[in-house]
Chain A
Amino acid sequence: MRPFSRRPRHHPVPAGTAATKTIRPAASRDTHAHLRSLLLIAPALVTVGLLFLYPLGYSLVWAFRDETAGGWSFANFIKAYDFYSLDMLFTVVIVTLATLFIGVLSIAIGGYLTLGENRVAVAALRWLYRWPLFIPFVVAGQLMRTFLAKNGMMNNMLVGSGVLDPLSTTSFLDWRGIVITFVWKQTPFAALLVAGAMASLDRSTMEAARNLGAGRVRVLLEIVVPQVATTLMVALILSYVVMMSVLSVPLMINAQTPTMLTVDMAWRINSYGDYPVANALGFISYAMTAVIAWIYLRQGIREGGKPA
């Protein structure tokens, strides 16, 4: 007779059946651990859920709500398209153009900080370029209004230095003003990330290229930029998303039509209380950023690594 066959069946099985013996308490320990860790992150989860996911989901879903007819339809989107298709195009063009400029300028700034040989100029640039980071969009907008207007500081300077005559001055307070403001405000951010990535590169990779005969511009474009491409991408996508969502700058610099979607959304809500169309416009701008995010993610997967 087996020594422990007399024990009742429901009794915990002792030695000999090591597997059951170790698994059971471990499993309950695991559940406890899971519960505890869930409890630990619960406040954060609730905050994200209530303050971010719920409003986002709500506005996305309610973009499809037809309040006059009741039920769900694309009516809001059709209306939004009828009224604001030009603004949609305008928004994409402005933000894309600004993103391209930001990319070029941040590479130039990061490149000079990394490869510049005039130590005074490098130090001065390093000190100067970050200032716009600390200025809010609304202040930047206000600043640019006085700077870019027909009788603004920029034209005054150009006239004063004899480059322009007073009659041929024009105001830059249109799409160009928005692009200039966005670039001015967002370039430091992208340059900060890009310059940081460049600074952490192995300097000998740049020296090796110069040693073989590459000038500094070639080193920047062929050796440095490809190595910081991921960081540059991240900086540009984040800038793109931020610019998509800025209301103050287009409102202050370019209040006429066409204008950017954020202005239209504010207009729908403030003047008409028209949340459904505003939601539809929000959905559309969300889709525009999602396209960029998708391109970025796809790039990351193609390169076989995780997106940085």
Chain B
Amino acid sequence: MNGLPIRIENLDVSYGDVPVLHGIDLTVAPGEFIALLGASGCGKTTLLRALAGFIPVADGHIEVGGEPVGTLPPERRNMAMMFQSYALWPHMNAAQNIGYGLRLRRWPKARIAERVREMVALVGLEGLERRNVTRLSGGQRQRVALARALAIDPPILLLDEPLSNLDARIRQNMRHEVRSLQQRLGLTAILVTHDREEAMSMADRMVILDTGRIAQVGTPEEVYQRPDTAFVAAFMGAENAYPVNVRRANGAVFVSGPHVAGETRLPFAASLDERGVHCPAGNGGPMVARFRSEAAALVESARLPEDHLALAGRVTRQSYLGNVYRHSVRVGEHEFLVDHPRRIAADRTVAVCIPAGALNLFEPDPASDRLPSPHPHPYPSPVTGPDPVAADAAGGRAPSPPTLAKETRQ
């Protein structure tokens, strides 16, 4: 069976009196692979379980293939789900687990046996059919769970963090296997995960959830390169945050700040194809710049590359990640993590250079406390004394607080 479309409209779900999902709207095309991504407690599993029928819907509408399913019990929704714990039945062997859904559909025994053989071959479990599932390894159990879900030829496959219990190497393989099976069978699939790499590598589109609301829906490239909000940017890895002043003019962005020498002109990118600063909202004034550790570079010389925002700072420590050194760089009140291929000694003065294409500008968010950022204070507290690093950046002059006001437009 080919995949069916799903339409979720204005969905509200509560656990008792506690509302968990608020006004979720989502349309999934037939055969599409959607990843629900978010931090713990954001409601992604709740959304999946509401879709499967395990949680009653407080308000809203769920349609599958044009039919409303919101009030149907789980057994009549015709969706196959893979659980995080695999949820295999310990009193049955692998083949019985895989064939149970077919038994429920009253298939004749011979057909069930044939279908089970097919599924066993599909997921590569030959020779283990008669083994009790309690005596299988994690990866094998996962395959049984996948085969069990696929055996009934479901139009919709729901995946509740099915790979999180596997070790890293098997997980990589299973991502590709699940994805290629889904494409080959044409199923509509919805994956819940908190692993953004997993979501990006498997999904056609990603849905980022933030405390029960959809923060952004888009292709992995869109969500990664052009996050709509500071929350999405932080969740997708742009955890370094720095307050700047922004002026927009002539298709460019002019950025200034206490540790920026003068006003830096950067190109503005209106779409994914252009290279430039991503600035989804706001026309200027105080904003927060967000960037990823791996997108920025450290420059020790006075010659700074073009179309980069340079922040003067000082290395405080570094750790080795294998391919790069991750440096902790102090810029005024802020601590950034920046990757660099060479190790730079602590206390060296460096410029943190962020290419325009890696810079995201957002309006300051008053609720920024819940951003998944390791730097709890993205805004500067009033500078109480002369800051040597800032003094370096300003050419030896100690900055007079608050410096932001000095360099604003008017």
Nearest-CB residue, chain A, relative to B82: A208
Name the interface residues of B223-263: CB closer than 8 Å to any CB of A.
none
Chain B interface secondary structure, helix, strand, loop or mixed? loop
Which residues on the A side are within 8 Å of B75 (C-beta)? 210-215
Q: Is the Cβ of A212 less than 8 Å from the Cβ of B152?
A: yes
Question: A213 to B101, Cβ gap below 8 A?
Answer: yes
Indicate whether B90 reaches chain A with its CB closer than 8 angstroms: yes
CA separation between A202 and B133, bound complex, in Å? 15
A137 to B91, CA, bound (A): 37
Chain B residue numbers with a CB within 8 Å of A222 are 100
- Contact pick for A212, options B54, B88, B91, B101, CB 8 Å: B101
Query: How many angstroms between the C-alpha atoms of A267 and B197 in the bound complex?
Result: 80
Q: Which of A207, A213, A227 contacts B104 (CB 8 A)?
A: A213
Q: Are B74 and A218 in contact (CB under 8 A)?
A: no
B78, chain A: closest CB distance, angstroms:
8
Interface residue tally on A, bucketed by range: 10 to 19
Given known contacts A212-B80, A213-B101, is B148 in contact with A207 (CB within 8 Å)? no
* A residues 196-232 in Cβ contact with B at 8 Å: 202, 204-205, 207-215, 218, 222-223, 226-227, 229
Q: Given the complex, which residues of B lie within 8 Å of A226, measured CB to CB?
A: 89, 91
Interface pair A204/B100, CB less than 8 Å apart:
no
* Distance from A294 Cβ to chain B, minimum over Cβ atoms (Å): 24
Interface bin, chain B: 20 to 34
CB pair B83 A207 closer than 8 Å: yes
A211 to chain B, nearest CB (A): 5
CA distance A223 to B87 in the complex (A): 11
**Which residues of A sit under 8 angstroms from B85, Cβ to Cβ?**
202, 204
Q: Are B83 and A208 in contact (CB under 8 A)?
A: yes
Contacts of A214 in B (CB 8 A): 75, 100, 104
Chain A residue with minimal CB distance to B160?
Answer: A204
Q: Which residues of A contact B370 (CB under 8 A)?
A: none
Per-residue A-contact encoding for B100-130, CB less than 8 Å = 1, 0 else: 1100110000000000000000000000000
Cβ 8 A contact of A227, one of B52, B53, B84, B90: B90
Q: Decide yes or no whether B79 CB sits under 8 A from chain A.
A: yes
The reply to whether A227 and B91 contact each other, CB–CB distance below 8 Å, is yes
Q: How far is the CA of A213 from the CA of B107 in the complex (A)?
A: 13
Across-interface contacts of B78 in A (CB, < 8 A): 213
Nearest B residue to A203, CB-CB:
B87
Within 8 A of A (CB), among B41-73: 52-54, 73
B87 touches A204 (CB 8 A): yes
Q: Is the CB of A208 within 8 A of B81?
A: yes
Which of A202, A205, A212, A215: most chain B Cβ within 10 A? A212
Kindly report which residue of chain B lies nearest to residue A208, judged by CB atoms. Answer: B87
Complex alpha-carbon distance, A222 and B75, angstroms: 15
B74 CB contacts on chain A under 8 angstroms: 207, 210-211
Q: How far apart are A232's CB and chain B's nearest CB, in angstroms?
A: 13
**B376 CB, min distance to chain A CBs, angstroms:** 36
Residues of B within 8 A of A223 (CB): 89
Q: Which residues of A contact B100 (CB under 8 A)?
A: 209, 212, 214, 222
Query: For the complex, what is the distance from the CA of A43 to the CA of B79, rounded to whole Å?
Result: 62
Closest 10 CB pairs of A and B: A204-B87, A212-B101, A208-B87, A226-B91, A210-B74, A204-B83, A213-B104, A211-B81, A213-B75, A210-B75
Could you show 28 A-B contacts with beta carbons less than 8 Å apart?
A: A202-B85, A202-B87, A204-B83, A207-B52, A207-B54, A207-B81, A207-B83, A207-B87, A208-B81, A208-B148, A210-B53, A210-B54, A211-B75, A211-B79, A212-B80, A212-B100, A212-B101, A212-B152, A213-B75, A213-B76, A213-B78, A213-B152, A214-B75, A218-B104, A222-B100, A223-B89, A227-B89, A227-B90
Q: Which positions in B face A, CB cutoff 8 Å?
A: 52-54, 73-81, 83-85, 87-91, 100-101, 104-105, 148, 152
Additional A-B contacts beyond A210-B54, A213-B76, A215-B73 (18; CB < 8 A):
A202-B85, A205-B90, A207-B74, A207-B81, A209-B89, A211-B52, A211-B74, A212-B80, A213-B75, A213-B101, A213-B104, A213-B152, A214-B75, A214-B100, A214-B104, A218-B104, A222-B100, A226-B89
